[in-house]
Amino acid sequence: MQVSVTDHVNDVKSIYYASPQPALLFSHDKVACEDYEPRIDPVPFGAGEEETIVKIVRLIKNNEPLGATIYLNERTGCVEIARILHGGAAYRSGLLNAGDEIHEINGEPVRGLEPDKIVAMLLKVRCLFSFDPGTDEHIPCREAGLPFKMGDILEIVNDEDATWWQALRVEDPVPTNIDTPVPAAPPVPERHSRSAPATTPATPGSGGAVTPVPARLVPSKHYQESVEVMRRVKLREARNPPRSISPCRYSPKIPKQTRLKKTMYHIVQSGGGPPGIGRNELKRRLKASNPQHFDEVVPYTSREKRPHEEDGKEYNFLSREEMESQIIAQNIFPVTIFTNYPNALNRFVEYGEYKGNLYGTSLESIKTVIQRSKVCLLAPHTQALKFIRTAELRPYIIFIKAPGMERMKYTRLEQHARATHTENTPPFSAEELRDITEMSAKMEERYSHFFDAVIVNDDLHEAAAELIKLAAKIEREDQWVPVGWAY
């Protein structure tokens, strides 16, 4: 031991000859004396050999397999670790052993669950885009590609390659042969279920009853992002061909943070679908289905209060100066607004100007609704999604989509449907309906990765019924959430 230490120091010296030797020796000795073994709480004093000890094991690992198989011990009814695979994360941690009983995973009890159910608690990837290997010009082998559709669930078994990951479709039989690598725990690029271990069910001693399904290639997150960027650049260039700019005259513009964005309010409200598609109508119907349960935020405005209005009921009324200073402040101190700018009480997730008055929805108003144990219904602008799509609010985003142009005309023209954000507007013209339909397609193309569900607002009654049913289902079932929300 002593010899190897000296050798090592000499090696280092020969490369970094200028380094002072005592400092090197000191660093080396310090590192060598550190204990890098995982720390396990000491066995309670007095616990006998026969007594059960509960270990709470915390494994922090990257996108790699846990490297363990599990089985249901029918005698005890407990889920136990069948094997620890050599070299896997569990093996390296030294924290888990074959025969250990698993009582809960990420806080969720597993007693009585079939191993299959536990496998269903694996972190998996829900696809936020579709992929057809037949049309991808860069895939190294088309036959090896795994086609998938948006919403499909995949298990990524290898994410070592920067461009092509290996994946299994979740309905494919999971390999159980212990001689083959256990499917990887999830990289989960975007979203995953709330539960989380990475184990594979196995019957002890069976050594693999199911023939493993070979993993196939899917684009990595990095690759897909590059594809998306390129697609948008091409699209933009096709729409506005670049003009040649003299390099001498070109100076990049520095965005002015303190300028107030002047967006028309009806644009500001175009989040859950294009304006005019029926978001507010559907929101109204959902609220009416259970007014005790659903509620909406009270927006802020700088316009004059009308005689019949009550502050805090229809709107929260603020002077234009107050609203402006708060909006400007949040642009200057995007993160620390509450501590750095004591006058700013509101953080507007969206704001805009309509007919000379400011309107906005504040984060605090949303929280107020939630704190009253109500489900907060919003129809935000797409720009607001990044502010509200947080671990704190955990929104469920439903896109209200336009049906085809023919159905738009059939359903809206007959009903004399008209915009509701302004008063006394004439019914939609065919031209306006075309705009709504086109905007719907553009929004879906651009923001579909934010959507948890899509409802096509064709027949209004059917769309409302679907929304009400979906709202009930959301409350019953676990949802997919971004990775960061689960911890």
Nearer to ligand ATP, 224 or 457 (CB): 457
CB 146 to ligand ATP: min, Å: 37
b/e map 318-350, b = 16+ CB within 10 Å: beeebbeebbbbbbebeeebeeebeebebbbbb
List 65, 115, 181, 275, residue binding ligand ATP (CB under 6 A): 275
435 binds ligand ATP (CB under 6 A): no
CA distance 461 to 468: 11
434 binds ligand ATP (CB under 6 A): no
Instruction: Give the three-class secondary structure for 22.
Output: helix
CA distance 129 to 131: 7
417 binds ligand ATP (CB under 6 A): yes
266 binds ligand ATP (CB under 6 A): yes
CA distance 139 to 121: 31
280 binds ligand ATP (CB under 6 A): yes
124 binds ligand ATP (CB under 6 A): no
Residue closest to ligand ATP (Cβ): 278
Nearest-5° angle of CA 453, CA 349, CA 361? Answer: 100
Nearer to ligand ATP, 462 or 478 (CB): 462
CA distance 32 to 1: 11
271 binds ligand ATP (CB under 6 A): no
Nearer to ligand ATP, 393 or 460 (CB): 460
150-158, 174-182, 222-230, 275-283 -> range binding ligand ATP (CB under 6 A): 275-283
83-91, 190-198, 218-226, 270-278 -> range binding ligand ATP (CB under 6 A): 270-278
Of the candidates 444, 417, 299, 445, the residue with the CA atom closest to the CA atom of residue 368? 299
Binding mask 462-481 for ligand ATP (x = CB under 6 A): -x------------------
Contacts of 398 (CB under 8 A, 6+ apart): 272, 451, 452, 453, 454, 455, 467, 470
63-71, 119-127, 186-194, 266-274 -> range binding ligand ATP (CB under 6 A): 266-274
CB 372 to ligand ATP: min, Å: 24
CA distance 347 to 337: 8
List 136, 420, 456, 483, residue binding ligand ATP (CB under 6 A): 420
Binding mask 70-89 for ligand ATP (x = CB under 6 A): --------------------
425 binds ligand ATP (CB under 6 A): no
CB 297 to ligand ATP: min, Å: 15
- Torsions phi, psi for 354 (to 5 deg): -140, 125
List 83, 192, 216, 279, residue binding ligand ATP (CB under 6 A): 279
Euclidean distance between the first and the last CA atom of the chain, given in angstroms as a whole number? 42
276 binds ligand ATP (CB under 6 A): yes
CA distance 331 to 383: 14
Length of the chain (residues): 487
Residue type, 328: I
Compute the half-sphere exposure of residue 465: CA atoms within 13 Å on the CB side of its CA.
5
Beta strands of 256-383 (E only): which ranges? 294-296, 300-301, 316-317, 348-354, 357-362, 375-377
CB 128 to ligand ATP: min, Å: 24
CB 273 to ligand ATP: min, Å: 6
* Residue whose pair of structure tokens reads 């009416």 in the numeric block: 288
278 binds ligand ATP (CB under 6 A): yes
List 24, 128, 419, 474, residue binding ligand ATP (CB under 6 A): 419
CB 187 to ligand ATP: min, Å: 37
- Is residue 423 within 8 A of residue 370, CB to CB? The reply is no
277 binds ligand ATP (CB under 6 A): yes
Contacts of 326 (CB under 8 A, 6+ apart): 318, 343, 344, 345, 346, 347, 348
Residue type, 120: A
Nearer to ligand ATP, 144 or 439 (CB): 439
119-127, 217-225, 414-422, 448-456 -> range binding ligand ATP (CB under 6 A): 414-422
Nearer to ligand ATP, 150 or 413 (CB): 413
* Binding footprint of ligand ATP, residue count (CB under 6 A): 22
List 460, 468, 483, 486, residue binding ligand ATP (CB under 6 A): 460
Measuring CA to CA, how many Å separate 174 from each of 83, 124, 211, 265?
16, 13, 9, 51
DSSP state, residue 148: B
411 binds ligand ATP (CB under 6 A): yes
377 binds ligand ATP (CB under 6 A): no
Q: Which residues contact ligand ATP by CB under 6 A? A: 266, 269, 273, 275-281, 411-412, 415, 417-421, 457, 459-460, 463
